[in-house]
Structure 1
Amino acid sequence: MSASAAAVANPAPTASVPHTAMVLAAGLGLRMRPLTLTRPKPLVEVGGAPLLDHALNRLAESGVERAVVNTHHLGAMIESHLAGRSSPAITLSPEADLLETGGGVRHALPHLGADPIFVVNADILWLDGPIPALKRLAATWDPAVMDVLLLMMPTVAAVGYDGPGDYHMEADGRLRYRAEGELAPFVFAGVHIVKPELYHAITENRFSNLRLWQQAEEAGRLYGMRHDGVWFHVGTPDAVEEVNTLLGHPILHDAKLSQPRKAEP
């Protein structure tokens, strides 16, 4: 087994965690309507707290010091919700025009620094396994061979997901995007580590992170790590109800789920 394969299979939990994260919270949440007609999707409550709070709490618990949060749809509500939060420290990155996932990160580069960062979708929900997923990602991250490291969820275990999957993963963690019409065993779980300098090479303002992942895959530098906890696909109002029901089930009742963090005075 190669060194990188061993790291993916059994990452050491003591690796340094990125101190900065980009939290993607600018989407329109069209599939979540009518809930998102009056609130942005990251503020939809699931499991007793807004989705955005779950993501930020996970980051804070893993040692991330600063989170840059982009906003667009009903962005003033997100700004108000985050006012006073100190862990992690929040920097807002408003977007007058929706820039998609990659464009949102590129727009926020002045706030992100030069070191590798976490990028987290603000509309996902996961439960950790024995070691927090963010710490496992940090321990698996190897900048010598990786440009991007994605958290991957097996499609058969992804709660509420019924799509064709995204990637095939080799034994050493390298990823290959599925061919057209093909089914893939892993779906992207909404969290990854990336080198910010990759965004400097893109001249367009609006683009998807998938573009950078494709480039990394072509260079053999796109890797994945399998999530060992529970992951929920929360895309519709019905899914919100389903996940809330599941979180009350005895099997998941004692699983660790961050509680809402109150704003400090």
Structure 2
Amino acid sequence: SLDSLAQAGVDKAMVNVHYFPEQIVAHVAARRAPKVVISDESERLLDSAGGIVHALPELGGAPFYIVNADTFWIDSGVPNLARLALAWDAAKMDILLMLADLQSATGHSGGTDFLMAPDGVLRRSKGDPTGLIYAGAAIVHPRLFADAPAGPHSLNAYFDAAVAAGRLFGTVMHGHWITVGTPDAIPLAEAAVAAALAESPSAFTELTSAFTKSK
């Protein structure tokens, strides 16, 4: 995820830590791009939205990416975070989600999350198998959190509020999406990466290069 952000030109990333925080801090300490600022949740895990609210003073007033730590993807063509930025329109969007279809996913054991209209507006799929999966990356405008409470709470409430206001949008990623949210998903992810490298040995070259050149 951090490599994808570096490739998209992001120069600073907030990384929240809770479980074994020292390991995460040590792991990201050597990075130059993006520069990592630690958001310490070691005393209390704040959940997806609570963590954002906690980090807002560092994030500033401009729209920002959010990227889940347990997902990554293999781009096909234009990098997906760049495509997300190109699709962003602050005048009509509060949140823009990166989405994946079930056929392009590895390690996902659930159903779909959203249905997308031709103009990109999203609504909950409510189990519809023709829907799309939230791929764990988004652009969010900080105004969404203007009256947000401190403490642990989920982004799902903000997704629903944006749906109700007609301001939740999506764009479908190009490539292969991989989630490693459970131990059982790790061998599936490894197999998907091996298959991608066998098909195209340069599949991860650009990401590796973006990190190496930044050192």
Shared fold, TM over 0.5? yes
What is residue 136 of structure 1 aligned with on the other side? 83
What is residue 202 of structure 1 aligned with on the other side? 148
TM-score (norm 2): 0.90
Cα distance, 1:73 vs structure 2: 0.9
Alignment check: 8 A CA contact 2:95 2:139 kept: yes
What is residue 94 of structure 2 aligned with on the other side? 147
* Range with bigger deviation, 218-227 or 84-93: 84-93
Which residues in structure 2 correspond to 1:183-198 (within 5 Å)?
183-198=129-144
Paired with 1:114 and 1:149, the residues of 2 have a C-alpha distance of: 17
Cα distance, 1:206 vs structure 2: 1.3
The CA RMSD measured in Å over matched residues stands at: 2.0
Question: Which residue of 194, 208, 212 corresponds with 1:259?
Answer: 208
Alignment check: 8 A CA contact 2:102 2:132 kept: yes
Question: Which residue of 101, 104, 107 corresponds with 1:157?
Answer: 104
Q: What letter matches 1:121 in structure 2?
A: N
Q: What letter matches 1:255 in structure 2?
A: A
Paired with 1:99 and 1:125, the residues of 2 have a C-alpha distance of: 22
Alignment check: 8 A CA contact 1:150 1:223 kept: yes
What is residue 56 of structure 2 aligned with on the other side? 109
**Alignment partner of 2:184: what SS?**
helix
Paired with 1:112 and 1:83, the residues of 2 have a C-alpha distance of: 19
**Alignment partner of 2:76: what SS?**
coil
Cα distance, 1:106 vs structure 2: 0.3
Alignment check: 8 A CA contact 1:156 1:185 kept: no
Paired with 1:60 and 1:113, the residues of 2 have a C-alpha distance of: 19
**Alignment partner of 2:4: what SS?**
helix
Paired with 1:115 and 1:127, the residues of 2 have a C-alpha distance of: 27
Question: Which residue of 171, 174, 182 corresponds with 1:225?
Answer: 171
* Range with bigger deviation, 157-166 or 145-154: 157-166
Cα distance, 1:184 vs structure 2: 4.9
Paired with 1:90 and 1:235, the residues of 2 have a C-alpha distance of: 22
Cα distance, 1:216 vs structure 2: 0.6
TM-score (norm 1): 0.74
Paired with 1:69 and 1:86, the residues of 2 have a C-alpha distance of: 14
* Range with bigger deviation, 232-241 or 253-262: 253-262
Cα distance, 1:252 vs structure 2: 5.2
**Alignment partner of 1:243: what SS?**
helix
Question: Which residue of 71, 83, 87 corresponds with 2:29?
Answer: 83
Which residues in structure 2 correspond to 1:118-133 (within 5 Å)?
118-133=65-80
Question: What whole-Å deviation, never above 9, does each CA across 1:56-115 have from its counterpart, x for those lacking one?
Answer: 111111110100111111111111111232211111110121110000000001100000
Paired with 2:21 and 2:147, the residues of 1 have a C-alpha distance of: 28
Count, aligned residues: 210
What is residue 12 of structure 2 aligned with on the other side? 66
Cα distance, 1:253 vs structure 2: 4.2
Alignment check: 8 A CA contact 1:106 1:200 kept: no
Question: Which residue of 41, 44, 50 corresponds with 1:97?
Answer: 44
Identity between Structure 1 and Structure 2 (%): 37
Paired with 1:168 and 1:242, the residues of 2 have a C-alpha distance of: 26
